[in-house]
Chains A and B, each alone.
Chain A
Amino acid sequence: MWFTIEGDRAWLLGARCPACGTVCFPPKAGPCPNPRCPAEALEETRLSRRGRVWSYTNSCYPPPEPFVAARPYTPVTLAAVELEEEGIVVLGQVKDLTVGELAVGMELELTHGALADGRPVWMWGKP
């Protein structure tokens, strides 16, 4: 959902406006979210795989349902990563890094992992 994997590489799938170039994530059908753009339809696009940390945090306590928390629970790390070309910040879980190892401005790369119930999801990880 909202991402694709080819070999060992993962890409977020967004939507791009063919008229003005506005990108959105998650992907959506038209119209273009730019209120001054007349485009009625958007096209699927792959987002840049690398970006810089806009901010980050963790969830020290298990988040409530519908999140499926691992038992025993280890804090979920989250990062909001700024993609320069698209001009957007995308939130995701962080794989194999704790908040102590992250910093605003640090480069991360898109990867993927599984939630506690096995459902695959995009994640940010070490480049």
Chain B
Amino acid sequence: MSHPIILGVGMHPWGKWGRPFVEYGVAAARAALRDAGIDWTDVQFLVGADTIRNGYPGFVAGATFAQALGWTGARIASCYAACASGAQALDIARARILAGLCDVALVVGADAAPKGFFKPVGGDRPDDPDWLRFRLLGATNPAYFALYARRRMALYGTTPEDFAAVKVKNARAGALNPNARYRKEVTAEEVLASPMVADPLRLMDICATSDGGAAVVLASESYARRLGVTRPVRVAAVSTVTPTFPNTVLELPAFATDSTAAVPPPERPFRAAVAHAAYEEAGLGPGDLSFAEVYDLSTALELDWVEDIGLCAPGEADRLLREGRTALGGRVPVNPSGGLASFGEAIPAQAIAQVCELTWQLRGAAGPRQVPGARVGLAVNQGLFGHGSAVIAVR
């Protein structure tokens, strides 16, 4: 299997811009096309990662972006997988290229996010667990993040100071990233003095919701060769696995875990299984990573991910953090982009933004946040209702 090539990447900076999501997507797409050195009219297949909070155009993002770029007759697809939408979109493009059905594809995701807590989609929907968890329990997304954080503190002795140190680390990296929304360094004291939102997590432990757009141009080996591309970045794996029964982690938006009464828990919990599938597909392991982008919905969750992707054993991520091994300049920097801590979440764009960072790092084009000699990068993410997402890029 010849790994598809990342020909170009582009982003619209993250922020709270108050513009329609389509504008961010188009800006990112045009940036990615420029980066690839091709025209929109060359693109044979466009995949849009959907947004569910921007009306009908968001549900058919592929057509929306295609029309906004100008109808060319290109084939399209639209997909939704919550936070994992971007990786799903990339996987759809990859499959079509690997099947020989197209040579060059454009993947786009963009979002315009509301302020404050994410709410369920409107209307009375008593059959929808995402509506019911708000109605019956008032269980917001940060409440679930906080349950994981408290559990971590009880199991491993992680402290609020450790959580704050994750934010300090990521803010330092984000300050170096022109696409990040928050570009100011913070101190641990500031994090620890920010208002408590869901005990033990404070405002600055939790990722914001943002506007933004990201795009990737993916091509076959032969197409890239015709363009004269040398030493390209390649997509070595995309993992879109679901949990294995019984899933013993309380996932958003569930009221309960699966039962272990009849079947013992799987060898790997869900997040670890997401990364493992990507490693297997790429024929690589955690020891091969130069850096990783992980989905730090909260500071505490970054520590869980560091263990889930195999950088250390469960309970040891705090030590890695304290020793500076996951910071820029450390052995395996985690979230050199600044992570969600510096971006805030633009749901369908986020997994694509992670791939943009993989590409810039692997090209050696990440500027002051460059990981020296980066050869292998992993991006992991998890979407509501059990959508795993992991991408490994190599150069």
Residues of B with C-beta under 8 A to A63: 117, 134, 138-140, 143
User: In the complex the two chains form, what is the Cα distance from A90 to B248 in whole Å?
Assistant: 11
Q: A33-B245, A60-B197, A60-B198 are in contact. Are A21 and B262 (CB under 8 A)?
A: yes
Q: Max chain B CB contacts within 10 Å: which of A35, A91, A103?
A: A91
Instruction: Give per-residue flags for B250-290: 1 if the beta carbon is below 8 A from chain A beta carbons, else 0.
Output: 10001111111111000000000000000000000000000
Measured as residues with beta carbon below 8 angstroms from the partner, the interface class of chain A is 35 or more
Which residues of the partner chain A approach B140 to less than 8 Å between Cβ atoms? Answer: 59, 63-64
At the interface, yes or no: B229 with Cβ under 8 Å from chain A? no
Q: Known contacts A61-B197, A63-B140, A90-B255; decide if A104 and B260 are in contact (CB<8 Å).
A: no
Given A26-B255, A57-B146, A105-B154: A85 in contact with B261 (beta carbons within 8 A): yes
Contacts of A59 in B (CB 8 A): 138-140, 142-143, 197-198
**Contact flags B141-160 to A (C-beta < 8 A → 1, else 0):** 01100111111001100000
For the complex formed, measure the closest distance between the CB of B39 and the CB atoms of chain A, giving whole angstroms: 44
Q: Which residue of A lies closest to B260 (CB)?
A: A87
B334 to chain A, nearest CB (A): 24
Contact of A54 among B117, B151, B198, B200 (CB under 8 A): B151
* B314 interface residue per 8 A CB criterion: no
CB distance from B195 to the nearest CB of A (A): 7
A80 at the interface (CB under 8 A from B): yes
Distance in angstroms from A29 CB to nearest chain B CB is 12
Q: Is A5 an interface residue (CB 8 A)?
A: no
B137 at the binding interface (Cβ < 8 Å)? yes
Answer whether residue A108 sits at the interface, using C-beta atoms and an 8 A cutoff. no
Does A121 belong to the interface (CB within 8 Å)? Answer: yes
- Flag whether B120 is at the interface (Cβ < 8 A): yes
- Point out the residues of chain A lying under 8 angstroms from B133, CB to CB: 91
Contact check, B135 vs A66: say whether CB atoms are below 8 A apart: yes
CB-CB < 8 A to B124: which residues of A? 66
Shortest Cβ gap from B130 to chain A (Å):
11
What residues on B are CB-neighbors of A66 within 8 Å? 120, 124, 131, 134-135
Per a CB cutoff under 8 Å, which of A62, A86, A103 touches B259?
A86
B257–A88 CB distance below 8 A: yes
B189 within 8 A of A: no
Hey, which bits of chain B sit against chain A, CB under 8 A? 116-117, 119-120, 124, 129, 131, 133-140, 142-143, 146-151, 154-155, 195-201, 245-246, 248, 250, 254-263
Q: A33-B259, A88-B258, A89-B250 are in contact. List 15 more A-B contacts (CB 8 A).
A: A23-B259, A34-B262, A55-B250, A56-B150, A57-B147, A63-B140, A64-B134, A66-B120, A80-B147, A86-B259, A91-B139, A91-B255, A93-B138, A104-B155, A119-B136
Q: What are 20 A-B contacts defined by CB distance under 8 Å?
A: A23-B259, A26-B255, A26-B256, A54-B147, A55-B148, A57-B149, A57-B200, A59-B143, A59-B198, A63-B117, A65-B134, A66-B124, A67-B135, A78-B138, A80-B147, A87-B259, A88-B256, A88-B260, A89-B248, A121-B137
Q: Which residues of A are interface residues toward B (Cβ below 8 A)?
A: 1, 17, 20-26, 33-37, 54-67, 69, 76, 78, 80, 85-93, 99, 103-105, 115, 119, 121
The 10 closest A-B pairs by CB, nearest first: A87-B260, A63-B138, A104-B154, A57-B146, A55-B151, A20-B262, A67-B138, A55-B147, A25-B256, A23-B259
